[in-house]
Amino acid sequence: MIQISGAPFQPNEKWKLDSIERAIIQHMFNAPVLFSFYSEDDFLFEIKVRKNMIKSANEMNQSEAQFTTFEYASCNPMYWQLTMEGGFLLRPNVQPADAILDIFRNSSLYAFECATAAVILYYRATLYSIGSYLFNSLFQNLYLYSWHTDPDLGIITFYSNHFLPGDVVYINNPDFHPNTPWFRGLNAVLLNDGKFFGHGFSIRTMEQIIQILNEYRKPGSQQSAYLTNLVTRPSFSHLGNLVGQQTNHRAYKMQHPIVHHNNCSISYVQYLYYLSNGINKKDK
């Protein structure tokens, strides 16, 4: 169900929606929960970001970027400094938008795990949605490592039985084999056709993803991998407000702490646990 300015949703022919946008709206309309928006602009902005998340996932799927662990991560040294922990730190005098675009333009130079991939997709979708000028103003201190993000993405995570195209969901593999800990789970983007993109898995159905994860369990395990009800997404309203105000928060913004945990393919909830407990890889 959709509500805009307190009134039931009514399509507007002037919007000229494409097939991806129409699919997103249909998912909202059919959901047994209420999606309420202050204005048409807020509604259309969320649809735009979701569409651009899907487009970005398809771009990454078609790229040559590889899945790997933090130990073997790689990036283009013209744009990023590879840290000892396997993170990508934006180089001085490099525009953030150019660095994010390079991950897709020179994808063969890059390798990273799936939580980092999800964050890259958020940044790419945001860049598509707000333009390079505002993106460069807001995200001047980019550091890509697992679920670490700039505060202005406003990443939120919660439990729900309803997913929308453009959401990142988590597939858990509780009995993953200790020799392949990167198969502990998968962060995946729900696409408009009901399939999922997960970095290292390409685009597949949920059943196919679970089947692959089940091949990397402990011997004798009877516990299947499964789709959790965890949903992770950016704050569409916060990003939309920044666009409306053309606000540069850089001078007042405190960056999130960084947790170098060295565990690939974790959920955002697990990252928050590490963050709240001060867990770094040196402690483990």
What region does 220 belong to: left with phi over 0, alpha with psi -120 to 50, or beta? left
Distance of CA 95 to the CA centre of its chain: 21
In the three-class reduction of DSSP (H, G, I as helix; E, B as strand; rest coil), residue 49 is classed as helix
CA dist., res. 243 & res. 169, Å (int): 26
pLDDT for residue 13 is more than 80: no
DSSP element (H, E) containing 202: strand 202-204
Domain count across the chain: 1
> What is the structure's pLDDT at 191?
98
| The predicted structure's pLDDT at residue 282 | 45
* Domain encompassing residue 56: 2-283
Strands (E), 48-155: 66-67, 80-82, 88-90, 111-112, 143-144
Structure-model confidence comparison of residues 271 and 249, the more confident one? 271
Q: Is 146 in contact with 259 (CB distance < 8 Å)?
A: yes
CA distances from 83 to 78, 89, 247 (A): 14, 7, 30
CB 273 within 8 A of CB 157: no
Question: What does the alpha-carbon distance between residue 119 and residue 204 come to, in Å, rounded to a whole number?
Answer: 20
What type of residue sits at position 89? L
For 138, counting Cβ atoms within 10 Å of its Cβ (0-12 exposed, 13-18 middle, 19+ buried), the class is buried
Instruction: Look up the pTM and report it.
Output: 0.94
- State the Cα–Cα distance between residues 165 and 190, nearest whole angstrom: 5
d(CA 215, CA 210): 9
In degrees, rounded to 5, the angle at the alpha carbon of residue 155 between the alpha carbons of residues 151 and 158 is 145
Question: Which residues, including other chains, have CB under 8 Å from residue 181's CB and lie 6 or more apart?
Answer: 263, 264, 265
Q: Average model confidence (pLDDT) for the chain?
A: 93
What is the spatial distance between Cα 35 and Cα 243, in angstroms, rounded to a whole number? Answer: 21
- Helix pair 96-105, 114-130: axis angle to 10 deg: 120
Q: List, for residues 208-260, the tens digit of each pLDDT value.
A: 999 999 999 999 999 999 999 999 999 998 898 888 776 555 556 788 899 99
Contact 58, 66 (CB under 8 A): no
pLDDT in tens, 102-139: 999 999 999 999 999 999 999 999 999 999 999 999 99
